Amino acid sequence: MTHAPKSSAPPEIAVWLRELVANCLELPVDRIDPQVALTRYGLDSVRAIQLTTEIATKLQRTVPETLLLACPCVAKLESFMLELLSGETQSGDLCAMLPLDGADATLGRLLADSILPEDIWPEAVYNSGSGVRSNPENVLLTGATGFLGAYMLCSLLRSTSATVHCLVRQSDEAPLERIRRNLTKYDLWDERYAERLQGWAGDLQMPQLGLPPQGWAWLSQAVDTIFHCGATVNWVMPYDALRNVNVLGTQELLRLACQGRAKAFHFVSSLATCHTTSVVGQVTEQDESLALAAGNYLGYAQSKCVAESLVHRASERGLPATIHRPSLIIGARESAYTNTEDLLSSMICGCIAMRAAPNLDWVLDCCTVDFIAEAIVELSLTSTVPLRVSHLVNPARYHWREVVLWMNLYGFQQRLISYRQWLAELRIAASAPSHPLYRLRSFFLARPKAGCNLTLPELYEESRRNSVEAQITERELARLGLKCPALSVDLLEVFFSRLIKQGAVPAVRERLPSVDLHPIAKAEHVDLDSGFFESLLREHFGDNALHVRRLSKRRLSNQSSITTELASWRSSRRIGLWECCVEFAKSGEESTQELEFLVKVKPSDQQVIEVAEQVGAICDSRLGEMLCHHRDRLGILGCHTRELKVYSQLDQRFVAHVPRVYGVIENSEQSEWLLVLESLKQIKLMDSAHELAQWQPEDIEVVLQGLAQLHSVWFQRDAELSEQAWLRPPLTSDELEDMAGLWHALAEYSWRYFSDWVDAEACEVILNIVTEAGNWWKQLEKMPRTLIHNDFNPRNLALRMQDGAYRLVAYDWELATIGVPQHDLAEFLCFVLPQDCSQATITKYVELYRANLAVATGRQIDPVVWHTGFRLSLCYLILNRFPMYCLRHTFSCQNFLPKVIKTWWQLHKMLNAESNA
């Protein structure tokens, strides 16, 4: 709300208001028709807020920021103001005038506007195929003076030999000068473009596009392809304010397309048309967006739904067409030139200015502008169907909270706070036009759905909106050899660097200090080239004449480990996973062999700890302090060398149940730690943590057999294990008690999630486990121990067929430590057992594993001690392991976690009931 102090006499409303509007729009008073919507005169969201503020100040009353949504023209503004001053209307009553239920209130108008006039029928048709031309001669492009339009224009000029005719809004500046200036702004202008460009002054919201009759007639006969990219992109204005440009403009372009020469029509829509609260499940390219409009509360998306419907109807009448629905658009992959006024850029810049980010469940689907432009042009010009709809999405996405974490590591201090708290701060911070979120205040503050207290951003949270599928489009893009650049920390760095250069955000003064790497390591590191693999394979096969003939490699997206990817970025090195395929010939052989490898380039332990501390600090300041204080006791210390040593074991009980190891490289002087492993292919249940229902009893039994073999290698060899320099001794009961502050901070933070998944009784039990940790740990540390995986769950294990039977293969051993074998067993069962498993089922697997371990070790294992150790292992999981998962869940949804916690609670209740019986 905009507030103004009370005072006395009312102004001369009509004169004052018209002068105010004219000054704001920079137009003569007599040019403004009181009955015409102000958006027709170029009113944008910034000027709308300025007008609202001036009106509130002049009236000395409080009026809603959404005033101009209810009163879009001078006449309606004047009427409301007179009623308000006369006392007939209270300022609060204005809420009744606003379109509270945006979709339902306008649905009738949407349906009416989606009817294509009967006079829009193609006069000419193509003789064969769909009619889409891959080699157009004359292209009409709208939106060339915009952000995406600039890149589409360049893509058209590069991909075709056509003359491109650009429809540009009328102004004092010549159309071609505006186009040249816009392309220069993004460093895209090339003088060679000039000879193939034609500019046309017009207006999308006017009949016949505001063109003179002769211009309209010439274009209808000369143009063979239309790309419609122009639109009013506004996240605040309602449908009625956007209708003239986005809907009627599309209708007029379809009219042009259907007159004279046969043409193809390519329409740029938005993925926002697919996000609705009225449909559950996935929206595909085959779904018509108008059917989703009933649950879509964004005026811009509604206008695009209607425009899409018009294109559909024109296609049914014989007009070849394509519709493209791009996701959010960010800067180009190389230059990252960015539209600083779009939603995402404004959101990021606004949060940086506020030093606070809202804790929203958003997954960011962003594509670079150059990819979107190229994809639209190529998909359009190669279409072989009468109507193609494409979903341009990024297969690799980040959660909003992951981006907030990255911003902190980059050097922009961000508090992650509740959305309601953030809104309260936004009202104060974004009160001046210079603030990046000033013109978007209504988007964040308005509650568009009747009877619902949620704002638009909350309606767009992952748990409330439907999902979008893009399989058809992805197949077509693959056929064309087009691949969307993955959203990665490297791309984020380019994006943020450009925001700084463009002056949208301040330069970072103090970046978080990074780990001091050896100088050589900063400049050089192991090259995964043919020479590297040739040397590796020569040693592996004992063949000094072995020759590598071909090598291909690609870096795998490490979406499952934001910590590793961030650590990689922090060190400016290629840490992470690489998939490599090597074709080689052994000495004396003409034929070649092929091997696939997974190369794991590891970050240092200090880099991982640094990121973990930042994660904790953003989640909760006290938790961050505790993680920092106990950083050497978190189990991360030494993780970069520990996994290398684990994989160096030669005991066949271990080797048989891990990936084949081809090379281990440890060079601490140059900060290089690499593992070269076999690439696991055709493996059953690999990466199945998000599909836990796939696990069957026979699969669980195979894992328990293999795990017993792994645990048997070091079982009851505590003294030898403790002498290994690569293993940190396990926590003592005194150390565990000294860490009480950390355990309580973790419990308090994780309970915000646990309380949604288990009942209040569980809270009391967990609190007691935390409080009594020192006591029950004393019992646990007296029990037989071994080398445990310490991250043993379906994220890091699978089954592979060998000699006609399935066998466990376990990987990712960086957290390996000394502990009771029941720990790995308990974690695994929490993942794979049903959340309502019976006591008999639990006992069956606990006993089965005890029997397997007894056979593997040749030792008797006391059943009472064994069951006690299992119950206490459950305590340690809820003290440490599962709360740590909650920290990650904050930034990247771990959809398996609710089920795991529910199963943990079932196991704990059942086993304690058995113990007390």
Q: Chain-wide mean pLDDT for the chain?
A: 86
In sequence order, the 6+-apart residues with CB closer than 8 A to the CB of 717 are 786
Report d(CA 909, CA 911) in Å as an integer: 6
Question: How distant is the alpha carbon of residue 252 from its chain centre?
Answer: 36
Least confident of 233-237, 555-559, 882-886: 555-559
Beta pairing partners, 264 = 225
SS3 400: helix
**pLDDT confidence of residue 443:** 87
**567-626 confidence digits (pLDDT tens):** 655 554 557 788 999 999 999 898 999 999 999 988 888 888 888 888 888 888 899 999
For the chain, the helix, strand and coil percentages under 3-state DSSP, each to the nearest 5: 50, 15, 35
pLDDT digits (tens, 9 = 90+) for 300-318: 999 999 999 999 999 999 9
Measured CA distances, 441 to 95, 338, 445, 498 (Å): 17, 21, 6, 25
Lookup result for tokens 């070091």: 714
∠ CA 732-736-741, rounded to 5°: 160
Tens digit of each residue's pLDDT (9 = 90 or more) over 421-462 = 999 999 899 888 889 998 888 888 877 766 678 888 898 888
Q: What is the pLDDT of residue 876?
A: 96
Neighbours of 591 (CB within 10 A): 6
pLDDT of residue 423: 93
Of 414-428, 468-482, 601-615, 631-645, give the lowest mean pLDDT range: 601-615
Written as six digits, the tokens of 524 are 């050089």
Can you give the pTM of this predicted structure?
Answer: 0.78
Give the pLDDT mean for 700-712: 97
CA dist 662 to 159, 591, 698, Å?
Answer: 46, 22, 31
**Phi first, then psi: what are they for 102, rounded to 5°?**
-50, -45
- pLDDT for the residue numbered 528: 86
The H-assigned helical ranges of 603-696 are 605-619, 621-629, 639-647, 652-655
Residue 70: predicted pLDDT: 67
How many other CB atoms are there within 10 angstroms of residue 354's CB atom? 21
Strands (E), 643-723: 661-667, 672-678
- Using the predicted structure, report yes or no on whether residue 99 has a pLDDT greater than 60: no
Per-residue pLDDT of 396-421, as tens digits, reads: 888 898 889 888 888 898 889 999 99
Give pLDDT, residue 353.
94
* Residue-level pLDDT at 102: 45
Overall average pLDDT of the 663-671 stretch: 85
Pairing of strands 661-667, 576-585: unpaired
Q: What is the pLDDT of residue 678?
A: 93
Q: What is the pLDDT of residue 524?
A: 40
DSSP secondary structure code for residue 680 in this structure:
P
92 pLDDT exceeds 50? no
pLDDT attached to residue 370: 95
